[in-house]
């Protein structure tokens, strides 16, 4: 079987070049980070850079109505569904150089390697990047891929706003990525996403790559508590309607729930915590916090949400505070295609790379695309415990190359499967 050979130095150079777009100095770590929120000027510049690399590789590119960009390397039978690679290039506000970006630039490197080797494939091979995967700017993660897969209607996505009231649609138009291509694409033959692990499992197992079995359930909610402002010195403790106290108690309760074991491998994070009044001598009349829950078992996630809501309602009533919930995002556990997983595992073995199988703790575009075609992911090992969403995020050149080798060789196998071959289920 032909082995596709990638150019590790070329891949690394692309990663290092793209990380300069949106670069900032992070005072907390003293390192250079990447701040490239979706549809900002930095994102637009990074998009243009990636499109140029696609064109340099001789690919045909298109932009759809939610701003997703896809580039195609033609196969010999263009009537067959393509094999798709992809990820995202937007970052969180304190991002690193590898999250999402590796999957996109790794996919472009696979295209370059196919060109270098003069390899023709039966099926088209495509690489793309999806709009607003992180959800930081417009409040909905995996936005572009969710629109493509049909979970989120385009009109709803267009109307989402950022903190300044700017809509997705207006920002797509402003940066020139409001494309004409329909957002609902034909189902690919298969989709594979290469991504940094963002955790310690691969390092703990001392293996270079991971085969991802699926993505755990994710719940994002915004809780706003309404109390009553009053004088901090003259209002008796028993007479207070302290929204800040209730909010702080919720944070502690979330940690207790995680530690209890009653909800399996529940993980809870309060990523935003805002206290109204903002004055030293005034009891807070309002508190807002965002709650991120993760669980690999849907039933345990449902129980955790229900018990948390009961706790909040009871505590709020005790303190004369009202609670207002807003659902930001919710996805069930998404299992990935077993046959594509097995192909990735076989490919890693053929290349002499050790691997483990694991669930993803983070959300990915792959979980959306899994609704329309057989899908799987390959994880790449990270340093420093796999830390991510920080400038300390780092995978070595060898790690990036290893993951991309698995990606490229699995894609090559899929791209030469004839129409009569059984599709992975």
Which residues are known binding-site members for Zn(2+)? 88, 99, 134, 195, 389
User: Alpha carbon of 323 to those of 142, 306, 319, 346: distances in Å?
Assistant: 28, 14, 11, 51
**Cα angle, residue 132 at apex, residues 250 and 198 outer, rounded to 5°:** 65
Classify residue 100 as exposed, middle or buried by CB count within 10 Å of its CB (0-12, 13-18, 19+). buried
Q: Which residues pair with 222 in a beta bridge?
A: 290, 326
- And the tokens for 312? 């909040």
Task: Concatenate the DSSP letters of all residues of 38-98 into one string.
Answer: TTSHHHHHHHHHHHHHHHHTT-EEEEBTT--EEEEE--S-TTSPPEEEEE-----TTB-SS
Tokens 């302290």 belong to: 242
The answer for residues whose C-beta is within 8 angstroms of residue 354's C-beta and 6 or more apart is 205, 206, 207, 208, 209, 348
Per the annotation, binding residues are 88, 99, 134, 195, 389
How many residues in total does the chain contain?
Answer: 425
């Amino acid at each position: 079987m032909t082995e596709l050979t990638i150019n590790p130095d070329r891949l690394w150079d692309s990663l290092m070049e793209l990380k300069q777009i949106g670069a900032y100095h992070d005072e907390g770590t003293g390192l250079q980070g990447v701040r490239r929120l979706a549809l900002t000027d930095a994102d637009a510049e990074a998009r243009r850079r990636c499109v140029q690399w696609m064109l340099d590789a001789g690919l045909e590119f298109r932009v759809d109505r939610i701003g997703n960009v896809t580039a195609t390397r033609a196969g010999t039978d263009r009537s067959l569904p393509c094999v798709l690679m992809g990820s995202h290039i937007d970052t969180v506000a304190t991002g690193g150089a590898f999250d999402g970006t590796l999957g996109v630039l790794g996919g472009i490197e696979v295209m370059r390697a196919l060109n270098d080797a003069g390899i023709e494939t039966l099926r088209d091979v495509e690489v793309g990047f999806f709009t607003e995967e992180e959800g930081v700017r417009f409040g909905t993660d995996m936005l572009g891929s969710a629109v493509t897969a049909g979970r989120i209607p385009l009109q709803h996505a267009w109307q989402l706003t950022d903190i300044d009231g700017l809509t997705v649609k207006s920002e797509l138009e402003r940066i020139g990525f409001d494309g004409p291509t329909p957002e609902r694409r034909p189902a690919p033959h298969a989709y594979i996403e290469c991504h940094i692990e963002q955790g310690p499992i691969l390092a703990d197992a001392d293996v270079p790559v991971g085969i991802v079995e699926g993505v755990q359930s994710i719940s994002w909610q915004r809780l706003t508590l309404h109390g009553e402002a009053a004088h901090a010195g003259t209002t008796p403790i028993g007479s207070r309607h302290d929204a800040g106290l209730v909010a702080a108690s919720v944070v502690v309760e979330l940690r207790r729930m995680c530690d209890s074991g009653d909800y399996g491998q529940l993980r809870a994070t309060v990523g935003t915590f805002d206290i109204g009044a903002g004055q030293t001598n005034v009891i807070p009349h309002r508190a807002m916090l965002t709650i991120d829950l993760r669980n690999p078992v849907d039933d345990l996630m449902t129980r955790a949400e229900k018990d948390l809501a009961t706790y909040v309602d009871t505590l709020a009533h005790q303190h004369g505070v009202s609670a207002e919930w807003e659902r930001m995002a919710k996805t069930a556990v998404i299992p990935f295609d077993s046959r594509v997983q097995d192909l990735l595992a076989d490919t890693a073995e053929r290349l002499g790379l050790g691997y483990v199988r694991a669930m993803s703790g983070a959300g990915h575009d792959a979980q959306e695309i899994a609704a329309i075609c057989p899908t799987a992911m390959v994880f790449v090992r990270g340093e420093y415990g796999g830390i991510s969403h920080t400038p300390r995020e780092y995978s070595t050149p060898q790690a990036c190359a290893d993951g991309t080798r698995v990606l490229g060789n699995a894609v090559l196998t899929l791209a030469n499967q004839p129409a009569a071959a059984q599709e992975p289920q």
